[in-house]
């Protein structure tokens, strides 16, 4: 009995000291910017409060039009992270193509992020003007304009990338416009005007989202930022777009209302800061 | 001893000769004609090599670039017609489909910074994708073409010669096509030989036409390239096929009905004329400028003749004939018959 209580006291002391030790350790969470880790950003495409599923799943926009989706692709570039001290960490020359058909493409990994508590993330939808006029040699990976096959993300006849495209079918699309009632909304337009060429509309949009749960990068923490991307906002953003009239967009000038809309479709759902 | 020295001297001489002849050959790959300005194509990003040009030429004439292996670049860009499609108002592509526009001449491309009638493409390297993907031209995709090339025995060899390894990539494919097209320089017409004082002369009518072109046409077609590479509405009558030109790229109303000012070089062999091939003779073309249609975006140079104040360009019938006579001196037979630009049937 005596032995038992001694053991108990001993154990209690051990636990208490362990708690103290661990508390002390937490307080000592000094951020060493020389240590780095990665940050993963997940783009989860949705339609309103539903998951986005390509095919025949029916959705409805604010105009009351029923539609289904066959494609949603967009370029993400010029990502930056701001920490609680206001220091901005940029990730230049990194271009990502998020495709609903490709699960892997929805996970973007930023490498070598210095330790810190990040409170804000910014990124561009599209390919910046500098890269849009770069020589063929510099257009590799997802920027290779010849690589897309039937799932084009490049306007060959009006040199430039398609920043975002959404395609599908809706009974709202007049059969006189498309016999199969398909719609295709392609947004591009980096501004043109390069080397004396004609100026076009600039539909590059930068999105900034707060990280209310900070992304705490440490040597042993590689945060994951999970974004909800609500495709419904493409129709029901600041501009209410009806598929009866907006169903075939293939030129920068007419795409601006769409770009203004999708600028509002990204929000942070949660941030994971799990220890490795 | 004497023999040794002779051998040494001879071999040194041979080496020196070899060096100079190879340097000379390199210079010949792309020569800037003495009366031309500096080219704008960034050669440093795609240095020309003999093997690169040869690969480009082979690709240019290979119908494998189209979906059903029937149409090559050369189908619509024929050398004898100044690299246009002879006699076709609107060029014809795959499945006998008609395209929207007249095939543009391919010449002196190293001096151009945007391409196509509407200028939608700003890089020569990226231009081949337009006809390749167009449903009425080649209706093919680059990844498919590269697959087809990999399966043909000659291409890995040609790619190795041009780029050092047999890898067939789109970058190499596009660069090789550019290399070949860049070599298509036309600067040896009778006009060129006359202005360079190389023995050629003008007839009195041609000389009068030259002076008229300088006075009345050089606002858009300045020498020596005979284009200022701008986009203008030249007052063509509106047609049923209401092609809005550069507006299609910019959707800017000011650009409605503006098209690229084409070069006048080899113009006598590139009929029919204009973006839609509406005129079949040079006489019709020149006569057009005496009676242009006054649209909202009509080029300011055509709103009133500088000398008479009348709409269009004021030209008497004799003056028109003189201009046509001069335009014919811009035909460069050595260019149109240069076997470096012709299909290599030996392959």
Cβ burial, residue B306 (10 Å; 0-12/13-18/19+): exposed
**Structure tokens belonging to residue A147:** 């690589």
Q: What is the pLDDT of residue A12?
A: 53
In CATH, the architecture of B43-186 is Orthogonal Bundle (1.10)
Q: Range of A52's domain? A: 31-272
Report whether B217 belongs to an annotated binding site. Answer: yes
pLDDT at residue number A10: 57
Q: Summarize pLDDT for A114-134 with one digit per residue, the tens.
A: 999 999 999 999 999 999 999
Average predicted confidence (pLDDT) for chain B: 91
C-alpha dihedral (B162, B164, B168, B172), degrees to nearest 10? -50
Q: Cα separation of B77 and B82, whole Å?
A: 8
Tell me: do A127 and A231 sit in the same domain.
yes
Determine contact: B135 vs chain A, CB below 8 A.
Answer: no
The predicted structure's pLDDT at residue A200: 83
Q: CA B281, CA B257: separation in Å to the nearest integer?
A: 22
**What does the pLDDT average to over B239-248?**
84
Both A72 and A21 in a single domain? no
Q: Yes or no: say if A30 and A24 are a contact pair by the CB < 8 Å rule.
A: no
Together in a domain, A192 and A160: yes
CA distances A192 to A2, A127, B235, Å, are 86, 13, 26
Average pLDDT of span A38-44: 98
Helix (H) or strand (E) holding B15: helix B2-29
Helices (H), ranges, chain A = 2-27, 129-132, 252-262
Whether this model's ipTM surpasses 0.85 comes out as: no
Q: What is the pLDDT of residue A27?
A: 54
CB spacing of A159 vs B251 below 8 angstroms: no
Looking at residues A211-233, what average pLDDT do you find? Answer: 97
A139-162 residue pLDDT tens: 999 999 888 878 899 998 888 999
Q: Which of B130, B170, B171 sits opposite A156 (nearest CB)?
A: B130
Do A9 and A51 have their domain in common?
no
Residues A16 and A144 in one domain: no
Q: Specify the pLDDT at position B26.
A: 47
Query: Is B221 in contact with B212 (CB distance < 8 Å)?
Result: no
A190-209 pLDDT per residue, tens: 988 777 677 889 999 999 99
Q: Do B121 and A156 touch (CB under 8 A)?
A: yes
Do A18 and A77 lie in one domain? The reply is no
Residue B44, pLDDT above cutoff 50: yes
CA B16/CA B141 separation, integer angstroms: 48
Mean predicted confidence (pLDDT) in B106-115: 96
User: Does the CB of B116 have a partner CB in chain A at under 8 Å?
Assistant: yes
Whole-number pLDDT of residue A60: 96
Stretch A180-197: mean pLDDT? 88
Whether residue A60 is found in the same domain as residue A109:
yes
Do A66 and A159 lie in one domain? The reply is yes
- Quote the tokens at residue B17: 């000769």
pLDDT tens digits along B7-36: 555 555 555 444 444 444 444 799 899 999
The DSSP-derived string for B80-98 is GGTSB-TT-SS-B-GGG-B
Residues A4, A49: one domain? no
Say how many domains are in chain A: 2
Both A39 and A26 in a single domain?
no
**CATH class of the domain defined by B190-331:** mainly alpha
Question: Quick one: pLDDT at residue A13?
Answer: 52
Q: Are residues A81 and A15 in the same domain?
A: no
For the residues B76-80, what does the mean pLDDT come to? 96
Q: Say which DSSP state B254 is in.
A: G
Domain ranges of chain B: 43-186, 190-331
- Between B44 and A195, name the one with better pLDDT: B44
Mean pLDDT over the full length of chain A: 90
> Distance between CA B230 and CA B216 in Å, rounded?
17
Decide if B302 contacts B235 (C-beta within 8 A).
Answer: yes
Q: What is the pLDDT of residues A23-36, one digit of tens each?
A: 444 556 788 989 99
Q: Is the pTM of this model over 0.90?
A: no
**Do the beta carbons of residue B231 and residue B255 sit within 8 Å?**
yes
**Which residue from B minimizes the CA distance to A195?**
B113
Q: Which of B143, B174, B249 to substitute to test the interface with A, most A CBs within 10 Å?
A: B249
Residue of B nearest to A134 (CA): B123
Nearest CA in chain B to A193: B122
Q: Is the pLDDT of residue B344 over 90?
A: no
The verdict on A192 and A73 lying in the same domain is yes
What would the mean pLDDT of B276-296 be, rounded to a whole number?
94
């Amino acid at each position: 009995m005596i032995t038992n209580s001694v053991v108990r006291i001993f154990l209690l002391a051990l636990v208490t000291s362990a708690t103290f030790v661990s508390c002390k350790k937490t307080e000592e969470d000094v951020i060493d910017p020389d240590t780095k880790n990665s940050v993963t950003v997940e783009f989860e495409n949705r339609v309103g409060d539903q998951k986005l599923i390509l095919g025949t799943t029916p959705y409805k926009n604010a105009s009351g039009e029923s539609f289904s989706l066959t494609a949603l692709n967009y370029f993400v570039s010029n990502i930056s992270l701001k920490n609680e001290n206001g220091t901005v960490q940029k990730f230049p020359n990194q271009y990502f193509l998020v495709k609903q058909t490709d699960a892997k493409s929805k996970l973007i990994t930023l490498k070598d992020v210095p330790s810190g508590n990040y409170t804000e993330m910014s990124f561009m939808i599209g390919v910046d003007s500098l890269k849009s006029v770069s020589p063929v040699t510099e257009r590799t990976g997802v920027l290779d304009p010849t690589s897309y096959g039937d799932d084009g993300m490049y306007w060959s006849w009006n040199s430039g990338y398609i920043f975002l495209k959404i395609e599908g079918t809706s009974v709202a699309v007049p059969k006189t416009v498309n016999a199969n009632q398909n719609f295709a909304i392609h947004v591009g337009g980096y501004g043109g005007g390069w080397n004396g060429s004609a100026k076009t509309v600039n539909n590059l949009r930068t999105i900034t989202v707060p990280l209310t749960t900070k992304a705490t990068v440490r040597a042993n923490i590689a945060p994951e930022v999970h974004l909800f991307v609500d495709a419904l906002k493409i129709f029901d953003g600041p501009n209410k777009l009806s598929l009866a009239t907006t169903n075939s967009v293939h030129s920068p000038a007419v795409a601006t209302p769409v770009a203004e809309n999708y600028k509002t479709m990204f929000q942070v759902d949660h941030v994971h800061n799990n220890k490795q | 001893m004497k023999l040794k020295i002779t051998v040494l001297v001879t071999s040194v001489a041979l080496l020196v000769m070899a060096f100079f002849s190879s340097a000379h050959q390199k210079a010949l790959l792309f020569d800037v004609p003495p009366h031309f300005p500096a080219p704008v194509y960034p050669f440093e990003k795609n240095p020309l090599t003999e093997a690169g040009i040869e690969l480009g030429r082979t690709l240019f004439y290979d119908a494998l670039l189209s979906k059903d292996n029937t149409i090559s670049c050369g189908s619509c860009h024929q050398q004898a017609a100044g690299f246009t499609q002879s006699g076709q108002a609107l060029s014809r592509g795959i499945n006998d489909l008609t395209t929207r526009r007249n095939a543009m001449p391919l010449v002196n491309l190293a001096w151009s910074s945007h391409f196509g009638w509407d200028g939608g493409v700003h890089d020569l390297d990226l231009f081949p994708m337009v006809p390749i993907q167009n449903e009425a031209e080649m209706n093919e995709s680059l990844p498919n073409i590269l697959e087809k090339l990999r399966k043909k025995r000659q291409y890995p060899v040609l790619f190795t010669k041009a780029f050092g390894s047999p890898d067939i990539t789109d970058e190499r494919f596009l660069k090789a096509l550019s290399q070949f097209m860049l070599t298509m320089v036309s600067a040896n017409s009778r006009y060129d030989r006359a202005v360079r004082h190389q023995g050629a002369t003008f007839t009195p009518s041609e000389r009068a036409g030259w002076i008229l072109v300088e006075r009345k046409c050089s606002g858009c077609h300045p020498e020596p390239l005979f284009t200022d590479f701008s986009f203008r509405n030249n007052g063509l009558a509106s047609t049923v096929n209401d092609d809005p030109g550069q507006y299609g790229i910019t959707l800017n109303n000011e650009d409605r009905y503006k098209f690229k000012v084409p070069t006048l070089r080899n113009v006598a062999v590139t009929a029919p004329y204009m973006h839609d091939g509406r005129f079949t003779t040079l006489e019709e073309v020149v006569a057009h400028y005496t009676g242009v249609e006054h649209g909202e975006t009509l080029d300011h140079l055509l709103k009133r003749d500088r000398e008479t104040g009348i709409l269009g360009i004021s030209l008497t019938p004799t003056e028109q004939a003189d201009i046509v006579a001069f335009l014919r001196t811009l035909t460069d037979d050595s260019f149109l018959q240069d076997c470096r630009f012709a299909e290599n049937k030996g392959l």
